[in-house]
A and B are shown apart, each in its own frame.
Chain A
Amino acid sequence: MIGRRKLVIEDKWCKGCGICAAFCPKQVLEIKKEKVRLKEPEGCIQCGQCELRCPDYAIYLVNVEE
């Protein structure tokens, strides 16, 4: 069963390499001031590409309790 999921950004671990933003299939991420930002929250399809590619574990999906 797939519940609702939410994208979490761990700011202090992000090094701003831009890998997540480049591989995001919906292009909803951007790098601002050397940190990743979710620029279009409604566009995120929670596919997990960013989490899979991030070498610093700074962006990931968590299940949201209903």
Chain B
Amino acid sequence: MPSDLIHEYMRIDHLPQIWCPGCGNGVIMRDVAVAIQELIDDQEYDFDRDDFVIVSGIGCSSRAAGYLDFNSIHTTHGRAIAFATGIKFANPKLNVIVLTGDGDCSAIGGNHLIHAARRNLGLTVICFNNDIYGMTGGQYSPTTPNGDKATTAPYGNVDRPFDIANLATGAGASFSARGDVFHARETTEIIKKAILHKGFSLVDVYSVCPTYYGRKNKKGDAVEMLKWQRDNLIPTARYYNMSEEDRAGKKQIGILSFNDYPEYTEEYAKIISACRKKAKK
């Protein structure tokens, strides 16, 4: 039961979280906790709590590492994937989960993201994508849609946005998916699959920021923003059955690309053992 889950897997003396009323990040953080709990409880896998490591960068999203009661580390801006790379190499058996935001992983840490994806390093990156820099006061981020307003784009954003899930696929990630706050159960299932995936997996989870993005763009309150997600973000099975006209303005959520490229730490271990054999001769 989720209320027990909160007591079991979150540092409840730190609650309520710092996030604004209506912020979607709390739901995404619980999705991650539910996904981990279900994997620990599943007899098919031999996971316990210490098999999971939570790494976060800087930003609203990255506060999650402080609330989740696991071995967790809150690192520097944009560098969560770099720290996670070190953790994964030190102990490749760990499930290293990076909680990051749109700005943290696609602007400040953009290079870390694309190169971890290219190497297919076995990390799970969950991006809390709220289309804005919330913590610093609503500046536009690399995912702010073209034409939308932000503190630093009072007349509308000139840039075209990144689609982080497609960016990861293009950079070579072997698992790329999209989720959102409204479809919480579907997103939890996607996160479970992402954790179980051996190579680099990225889940771009659309959050809602009613305080900055919503207010600046007259998107209504948190309820209105969630209703927008309900009506415009479509789970894969239903999306495939829609006509081209019906798909206009809508986006698919679910697993977008999947491959079984070799995983980086395994390939690295092969080099090490080959060199050791050579040295012994």
- Interface size of A as a range: 20 to 34
- Contact assessment for A55 and B1 in the assembled complex, using a CB-CB cutoff below 8 Å: no
A-B contact count (CB 8 A): 63
Query: How big is the B interface, by class?
Result: 20 to 34
Whole-angstrom distance between the alpha carbons of A56 and B104 in the complex?
23
- Indicate which residue in A8, A52, A55, A63 contacts B23 across the interface (CB closer than 8 Å): A55
What CA separation (Å) do A22 and B184 show in the bound complex?
17
**Proximity string of chain B (173-191) to chain A, C-beta cutoff 8 Å, 1 when within and 0 when not:** 0000000010011000000
C-alpha spacing A15/B30, complex, angstroms: 17
**With the chains together, A42 CA to B159 CA distance in Å?**
52
Residue of B nearest to A63 (CB): B1
Bound-complex Cα distance A60 to B222 (A): 19
In chain B, what residue has the closest Cβ to A34? B21
Main secondary structure of the interface of A (DSSP, over half): mixed
> Contact at B22–A55, with CB atoms within 8 Å?
yes
What is the CA–CA distance of A45 and B181 in the complex, to the nearest angstrom? 23
The verdict on B17 contacting chain A, using a C-beta distance below 8 Å, is: yes
**A18-B221, A19-B222, A52-B184 known; A61-B1 Cβ under 8 A:** yes
Interface residues of B in 19-33 (CB under 8 A from A): 19-27, 30
User: How far, in whole Å, are A23 and B26 apart by their CA atoms in the complex?
Assistant: 17
Does A32 belong to the interface (CB within 8 Å)? Answer: no
Top 4 nearest A-B pairs (CB, nearest first) are A55-B26, A17-B22, A15-B21, A17-B21
Q: Is A51 part of the binding interface, using a Cβ–Cβ cutoff of 8 Å? A: yes
Cβ of A29 < 8 Å from any Cβ of B?
Answer: no
* CB contact between B26 and one of A8, A18, A56, A63 (< 8 Å): that residue: A56
- Report the separation of the CA atoms of residues A13 and B27 in the bound assembly, to the nearest whole angstrom: 14
Find B226's partner among A53, A57, A62, A63 (CB 8 Å cutoff): A53
Q: Which of A3-58 contact B (CB under 8 A)?
A: 8, 12-19, 22-23, 51-58
Can you report 9 A-B residue pairs in the complex whose CB atoms are below 8 A from each other?
Answer: A14-B16, A16-B21, A17-B210, A18-B222, A53-B226, A55-B23, A57-B2, A57-B6, A62-B1
